[in-house]
């Protein structure tokens, strides 16, 4: 089997699949996005808002789905929010070194003693690809198979993001809290897994643990470090008070890339599928959970204004987003910012972030690799 080496590409990528070197021809593209918010009252299903969108033979990207539910008290004051957003953009129209065709953002918080939310957001992209032995109309030859019928293509997945955990009420029952963020790339027909990683949040007694699977690196940062990136004094003081009276954790998934490989056969089509999922389950009585994949936070600023008094939401969002690029992933393969993709890269970039809740006692973060 002949290995195809990745070439550096730090310019406009016409597609997340299109890479320097062995591109192959994209025969077909299908994508679907889903968003759903389920309100729970005393743990029982109440209102629900769900939406979906998908490409069709007559309609390509962009596609998007958004859902939201709000809860107010008898005086009309906002006491809870559940929101989900999922988007798939046309990679051919993106002007970034690492195209961000996927964008998922979800969040929920509740200051009400009875109301909580389950929030789900997902995106799927499936591409049928062809590598040919000899160039033909519309299908260039990108691999020299030589005397073999097969070759190995190496590609990369880019990950980045941030994690925030908080609880404003030390007495809140957080046993139901959960957050699952998962990214996978599979080869259809045989179901072969080419890449898989996840960040999973679960309560752990009086602690909160974040477990990872697959090749992902996480790093904890402090409010002081956010201050060096521009967080204002008032917000820093409010967050420090929150950490003292409740819980505050700030985790960064710094920009990183990871390789994956797969075998291709000359003149045979293959289908690669990327699946991104965010599943959140909040708790009543002073907690919040949120997640974002595929882009920096855009809705966090408005989301934290109500549950975190004294915090400038725009400044917090800005400094968390800056911290993603400010900290390099130690030990991650490949460059942090310049796109490096080899072969028919299914995902040129997948930024990843998670915001969730915890107890008063500082939780324990554990990272378990593959």
pLDDT tens, 208-250? 788 899 988 888 889 999 999 999 999 999 999 988 888 787 7
Determine the pLDDT at residue 152.
86
Averaged confidence pLDDT in the chain: 77
Percent of the chain exceeding pLDDT 90 equals 36
358 versus 293: the higher-pLDDT residue is 293
Q: How far apart are CA 192 and CA 214, in angstroms?
A: 15
- 179 belongs to a structural domain: yes
- 72 belongs to a structural domain: yes
- 363 belongs to a structural domain: no
Q: How far apart are CA 221 and CA 229, in angstroms?
A: 12
Q: How far apart are CA 85 and CA 300, in angstroms?
A: 12
Determine the pLDDT at residue 27.
82
Determine the pLDDT at residue 17.
35
pLDDT band at 63 (very low <50, low <70, confident <90, very high): very high
Residues near 15 by Cβ (< 8 Å), separated by ≥ 6? 26, 91, 92, 99
Which of 15-19, 236-240, 286-290, 345-349 has the highest average model confidence (pLDDT)?
A: 236-240
Which of 23-27, 158-162, 194-198, 259-263 has the highest average model confidence (pLDDT)?
A: 194-198
- 303 belongs to a structural domain: yes
Residue 148: closest CA among 265, 235, 234, 302: 265
- 365 belongs to a structural domain: no
Residue 91: closest CA among 101, 103, 106: 101
- 362 belongs to a structural domain: no
Domain that holds residue 53: 2-356
Determine the pLDDT at residue 23.
52
In terms of DSSP bridges, do strands 102-110 and 78-88 run parallel, antiparallel, or are they unpaired? antiparallel
Q: How far apart are CA 11 and CA 339, in angstroms?
A: 8
| Helix H or strand E segment including 313 | helix 313-326
Inform me whether the pLDDT recorded for 357 exceeds 50. no
Query: What is the distance between the terminal CA atoms of the chain, rounded to a whole angstrom?
Result: 26
- 311 belongs to a structural domain: yes
Q: Domains in the chain: how many in total?
A: 1
Q: How far apart are CA 152 and CA 243, in angstroms?
A: 50
- 364 belongs to a structural domain: no
Least confident of 69-73, 135-139, 174-178, 330-334: 330-334
């Amino acid at each position: 089997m002949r290995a195809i080496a990745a070439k550096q590409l730090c310019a406009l990528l016409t597609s997340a699949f299109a890479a320097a070197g062995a591109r192959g021809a994209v025969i077909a593209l299908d994508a679907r996005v889903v968003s759903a918010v389920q309100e729970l009252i005393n743990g029982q299903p109440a209102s629900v808002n769900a939406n979906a969108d998908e490409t069709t033979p007559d309609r390509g990207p962009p596609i998007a789905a958004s859902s939201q539910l709000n809860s107010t008290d008898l005086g009309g004051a906002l006491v809870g929010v559940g929101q989900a957003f999922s988007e798939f953009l046309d990679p051919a129209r993106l002007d970034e070194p690492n195209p961000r065709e996927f964008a998922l953002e979800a969040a929920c918080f509740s200051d009400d003693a009875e109301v909580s939310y389950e929030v789900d957001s997902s995106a799927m992209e499936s591409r049928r690809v062809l590598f040919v032995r000899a160039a033909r109309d519309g299908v260039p030859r990108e691999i020299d198979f030589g005397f073999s019928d097969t070759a190995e293509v190496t590609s990369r997945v880019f990950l980045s993001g941030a994690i925030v955990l908080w609880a404003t009420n030390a007495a809140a029952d957080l046993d139901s809290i959960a957050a699952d963020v998962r990214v996978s790339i599979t080869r259809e027909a045989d179901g072969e897994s080419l890449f898989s990683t996840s960040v999973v949040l679960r309560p752990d007694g009086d602690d909160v643990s974040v477990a990872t699977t697959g090749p992902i690196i996480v790093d904890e940062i402090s409010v002081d470090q956010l201050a060096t990136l521009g967080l204002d004094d008032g917000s820093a003081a409010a967050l420090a008070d929150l950490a003292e009276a409740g819980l505050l954790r700030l985790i960064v998934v710094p920009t990183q890339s990871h390789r994956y490989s797969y075998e291709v056969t000359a003149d045979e089509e293959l289908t690669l599928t990327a699946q991104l999922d965010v599943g959140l389950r909040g708790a009543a009585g002073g907690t919040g959970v949120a997640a974002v994949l595929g882009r920096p936070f855009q809705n966090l600023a408005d989301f934290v204004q109500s549950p975190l008094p004294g915090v400038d939401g725009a400044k917090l969002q800005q400094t968390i987003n800056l911290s993603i690029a400010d900290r390099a992933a130690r030990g991650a393969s490949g460059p942090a910012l310049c796109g490096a993709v080899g072969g028919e890269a299914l995902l040129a970039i997948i930024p990843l972030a998670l915001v969730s809740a915890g107890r008063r006692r500082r939780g324990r973060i554990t990272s378990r690799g593959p």
